[in-house]
Amino acid sequence: MKTTMMLAAGVLAATTAAPVSAADPQDGSSEVSRQGFLLGFSLGAGDLGPDPCDDCGLGVGGDFHIGAMASREVAVMLEITGVGRGNLVHGIVGVAAQWWPDPAGRFWLKGGVGIGSLDHDDFFPDEPDIFDGDNDYVYPSLFGAGGVEVVRAGRFTMDIQLRGAGTHQRGDWAHSVSVNVGLNWY
């Protein structure tokens, strides 16, 4: 599974390396105008667990966020994020803050807290209680991400992100990680 994640990250980085240099003219005109309302989403591939199927491959990861810029370098938002494969889903909804260490820069970090759960549609009798098949409960969750903007134009950015999340439910930690491509409007 680690090899598959490394391969996916490498392919994703290689396919987006060209737009980084093309979108960064020498006169600095590619600076993005981050202000006011923001809206964005991302899609990618990732892994989640605990997973009763060790060799089932990657899942689909994604997020949707809506919020506002609190300053030129900090945004606050409501975020829905998750990774799913087949009938196994790790989903979270929560509040987050995103920070650009250099307001004119491309690199950013995000962290948030919320509620979530790892849900499995089928009952696995040999697996721990975390797979009860009818999980109607939500639990405390943490999530975070880091990314680099590879395309910037006016009030639009496209970025490459590494996302992770954890939910403490029933004495165990559910977790997910994904590599995503995101689209954002400010």
What pLDDT, on the 0 to 100 scale, is given for residue 142? Answer: 98
Taking 80 as the threshold, does the pLDDT of residue 102 lie above it? yes
What pLDDT, on the 0 to 100 scale, is given for residue 29? Answer: 45
Structure confidence by residue, pLDDT tens digits, 112-152: 999 999 987 654 445 544 444 455 689 999 999 999 999 99
Segment 48-72 mean pLDDT:
92
Structure confidence by residue, pLDDT tens digits, 30-54: 678 899 999 999 999 999 988 888 7
Number of other residues whose CB lies within 10 A of the CB of residue 97: 15
What pLDDT, on the 0 to 100 scale, is given for residue 87? Answer: 85
Q: Tell me the pTM.
A: 0.78
Q: Of 147, 161, 145, which is closest to residue 111 (Cα–Cα)?
A: 145
DSSP states of 74-133: EEEEEEEEEEEETTEEEEEEEEEEEE-SSTTSSEEEEEEEEEEEEEESS--TTS-TT--S
Q: Can you tell me the distance from the alpha carbon of 8 to that of 179, in angstroms, rounded to the nearest whole number?
A: 8
Q: For residues 51 and 18, which has the higher predicted lDDT (pLDDT)?
A: 51
What pLDDT, on the 0 to 100 scale, is given for residue 10? Answer: 53
Structure confidence by residue, pLDDT tens digits, 2-15: 544 544 455 445 44
Which structural domains are found in the chain, ordered by start? Answer: 2-185 (2.40.160.20)
Confidence band of 82 (pLDDT split at 50, 70, 90): very high
Average pLDDT, the chain: 83
